[in-house]
Chains A and B, each alone.
Chain A
């Protein structure tokens, strides 16, 4: 097989996973991990220049190129963060060398699975890839072997498996719908073929399939009321994994949903998937916004914030149309960058404080100014204050909704304001006031965190026209 960028995006993580599983020594493997993600990022970048023709199994188009870019970039910066984070965990003895080796191998398997899910042109292959991603994250969530970590992993496992099972039933139904039109065999599962012929499918079967897919992949997106696994999984696993879960894996599941949404949109007789997504999105937003108030654990706090933002993104894609899709894409990108930056900060905060309890934190701006101001900036970004990027995207979501469905916009704005107040309330007790609780010196790497925040800030102040044009193009694809 000829080596091209597409093969690279899949092959590099796969080979790296095997290597990292075999090699001993933390220093070497952690650096190899960074090198592998950097190489994958380079391959992903070259997909924008030249890309292979879609085949029966793999495809690269403008839509998934955007997702791959985001995944590989955040994957790379998280591996840089993980370098110092895991080093510290090893020092304090929360992780032993064999577990660190396992962790690095799993990190690459996760990257492989996410990239495979994104480039899959075959809906069966996409399902297998998302299952693989679920399994690896389950293993990583449980890596600390504490009561809480095992319970979180078990819960994630069971709920994730049920979600995955429902998604498979939906996938089978899509095949059943396609079979009379496309014919038996491989073609009836190839997405590009499906979307071209979707107009002739039986609409009733497609409707039913989408309901299962929405429930199945929606569980993985973390939409309320299917979100129960998400806060536990975020809180109990290693923080780099929380960053990757929030920043990337939720997006990958949403991407799968979007592909099927495009399928339904191509069939005139099928039900409009928009209202379903709008409803689930709004429920998630409002529910998670209220849940922010009573959180005592800093990582659970930001996990609920992720549910809130996935709600907004799902809402925006559910509304559809060029403007709302544009806003959804922008919001997804900004959320991935800002939320992973926050988790980078939170990881170090939890390490210097030796706890995740918000009650034991306070006055961080006095004791650890760089770290704390990074966190404050991140929270300002995620809360949607101008001039940061998320303000832009939230403004676009709200304004496009006001133009089309003012009643929904009121609910949306209400949820956003409740969420904003909740975050500020918690931020106040974490970052300001009298210093509280134990505190150690921070040995943090600030580069990934500030790199993400600078990008979010830059996008809020000035978006290059080329980027705007690119997002508009992708938004047009989504219909």
Chain B
């Protein structure tokens, strides 16, 4: 593998982690969606690069899905849902920005320590890709637990999923990657349609998950 192949892959994967951090401190829904679109765009570039480096044309399908579906369709759809349902534009967070960032750094350090130690024998590209991917996954999880807003949680889940696609494409020659990315796109489409069709806004008057908790099934 040539030097530039490795460096580009490294750069794009690192960018994904960085953009995950950007998502972590957004407090406006529109801004969050824009940053997410950037996240998906970077993922598309990274997957396309992997497709070229690994000489695996089927990965271009995954890259196209990431570009069209995740970077364009989903953010636009969510944008319209926010307008249509009149959701509050601010995101309420459970913890402050500072502590969320600190926790995020801790998680990235953790995934580096764990993955780099565990994959000692693997080839360096896959190894670092996996470490970055785990960071993105953990940051996505962190985003989901620190957001009270349902749309915010969905964005957290979607960036978590981007991390998984990064891992799957980084694992050289992994079969079923395209199928899995399609399956995930269906899952995400369901979530987005779910927000809209279930009319969480209409039913609960808010997409604030804390208010959803109020309806918890333990009847009194």
Which residue numbers of A lie inside 8 Å of B, CB to CB?
A: 122, 124-125, 127-128, 131-132, 135, 138, 142, 147-148, 150-155, 157-158, 161-162, 164-166, 168-169, 172-173, 175-176, 179-180, 184-186, 188-189, 202, 204-205, 207-208, 231-232, 235-236, 295-297, 300, 356-357
Contact = CB atoms under 8 A, between A and B. Distances in A.
Q: Max chain B CB contacts within 10 Å: which of A184, A232, A357? A: A184
Which 10 residue pairs spanning A and B have beta carbons closest together? Answer: A184-B173, A124-B176, A204-B118, A147-B215, A186-B175, A148-B217, A235-B217, A172-B167, A151-B215, A151-B212
A185 B191 contact: no
27 contacts: A122-B175, A128-B180, A131-B187, A142-B198, A151-B212, A151-B217, A152-B217, A154-B200, A154-B212, A157-B194, A158-B153, A161-B191, A164-B187, A165-B137, A165-B160, A168-B164, A169-B133, A172-B130, A175-B174, A184-B173, A185-B175, A186-B175, A188-B173, A202-B121, A205-B119, A296-B218, A297-B218
B157 A208 contact: no
Nearest to A139: B190
A176 B167 CA distance: 10
B198 A169 contact: no
B176 A125 contact: yes
B190 A180 contact: no
B217 A231 contact: yes
Contact of B179 (A124, A151, A204): A124
**SS class of chain A's interface: helix, strand, loop or mixed?**
helix
A161 B150 CA distance: 14
Nearest to B220: A296
Nearest to B160: A165
Given A180-B122, A204-B120, 15 more contacts: A128-B179, A131-B183, A135-B187, A151-B212, A164-B187, A169-B137, A172-B164, A172-B168, A175-B171, A176-B171, A179-B173, A202-B118, A208-B114, A231-B217, A300-B218
Contacts of A153: 194, 198
A165 B187 CA distance: 11
A142 B199 CA distance: 12
Contacts of B174: 172, 175, 179, 188-189
B164 A169 contact: yes
Interface majority SS on B: helix, strand, loop or mixed? helix
Contact of B180 (A168, A184, A296, A297): A168
A232 B216 contact: yes
B74 interface: no
Contacts of B171: 172, 175-176, 179
Nearest to B123: A180
B32 interface: no
B179 to A, nearest CB: 7
Contact of A162 (B118, B144, B190): B144
A202 B125 CA distance: 17
A147 B150 CA distance: 15
A340 B198 CA distance: 29
Nearest to B183: A128
Contacts of B187: 131, 135, 161, 164
Contacts of A236: 217
Contacts of A138: 190
Nearest to A205: B118
Contacts of A155: 212
A444 to B, nearest CB: 23
Nearest to A152: B217
Interface string B197-216: 01010011000000011011
